[in-house]
Structure 1
Amino acid sequence: MALAFFDQFSSPTFLGIPLIVIAMVFPWVLFPSPSNRWLNNRLISLQGQFFNRFTQQLLLPLNFGGHKWALFLTSLMMMLLSINMLGLLPYTFTPTTQLSLNMGLAVPFWLATVIIGLRNQPTAALAHLLPEGTPLLLIPVLIIIETISLFIRPIALGVRLTANLTAGHLLIQLIATAIPVLITTMAPVALLTFTVLFLLTVLEVAVAMIQAYVFVLLVSLYLQENT
């Protein structure tokens, strides 16, 4: 029974073909495409306004060189947000609960920021490894520590997203499994458990949105250090 709780995190297959690609592509079908008319409908207008606000907020702390990443970061944010939100629906699969997918997103973006920093401003990029005014005896130790922290960044990006979503989904399933058992024996406790489940679901919706934003925000901060 304990293993059944983790079945929701296994990638679904059909005739031996993984369906994770469909789970990742399907959210983009739900977004309405702008028309060629002068006036759009309310949904497209709200969508365009959200994109503009988010892009402005995201690029506010970045230098001018980092503005080239606006399309990538906004697209990444919408992809993660859509996948996380749709994964809360019943009988669905959340691709972002897979560590391999999150690491596949975190490592290339992190590596791109590092390469950009080493190419455009190598002195400033290497200066992050040694804070100014460090005592002479601590220089080797701090360089090793900063180097380790640099390589831990993509791991932290992927593990943070995976752990938060996996923990939330697992708690929801555990509490939802207890309600049918309690309703026949202790109805008041079952009602209290259902209230906790509802509040936890609302919290998980907030976590799904926040984690998508945090992932993109950290990538933009890494980009800021190297532009």
Structure 2
Amino acid sequence: MGEKYALLTGASGGIGIEIAKTLYEHGFSLYLHYNRNRESLDAFIDEYGSSRVHLIQADLSMSDGVNQLLEQIDHPIESVIYNAGKSYFGLVTDMSDDEIKQMITLHTTSPFLLIKKLLPDMITKKTGNIMMISSIWGITGASCEVLYSMVKGSQNSYVKALAKEVALSGIRVNAIAPGAIETAMLSSFSEDDKTLLKEEIPMGRLGNPTEIADVVSFLISEKSSYITGQVLSVNGGWHC
């Protein structure tokens, strides 16, 4: 059996690093994408070695980002986990046109174009796994994160539609919708804010990035071979 390759976008963040560890432990050779934060991926290579790890840089919020990324890939990709993303907290009326365009490109246009380019090889081989790391706000919506809610909702609809289109080709498409996870995305929250947030969550705590990676581990395994077109909430019972 030859090498199997996975592409993970947004690999340098808290959730991304844990997903990278999971993919590595599943035997994948990895293309780990980042935009600015390379340091955490260098630390990953220090721990796991470089023989099965390729670092690739691209800004997927820009119109040429997907082409930049694809130019750095030299192998057929069996699994894609699209984890690249960023949030914006503020009123709709305060967002600039450039901020809106970049958010839509990063979360909607780029994953569509990227997977469009990678699908033909998966279809030929009759195998593949596509996964989006979405958000709870793509399901429930959030005030002051309206655009983020919109683009994450778009990802969820994309998963449901694409799964139906490629199921007969042996390709599975799913999404994970995390709730409040202890990552840099919550860095702007004070400890008091986090305490209040925990009180809203039925399980009484924030999620851990490893708990998202564990769900990825399940969804890329044969144990989930009959699961496709699903948006799996991992949120401690918050906003169920």
TM-score bucket of the superposed structures, by smaller chain: 0.3 to 0.5
Structure 1 or 2: larger helix share?
Answer: 1
Q: Which has more radius of gyration?
A: 1
What TM-score comes out, normalization by structure 2 length?
A: 0.32
What TM-score comes out, normalization by structure 1 length?
A: 0.34
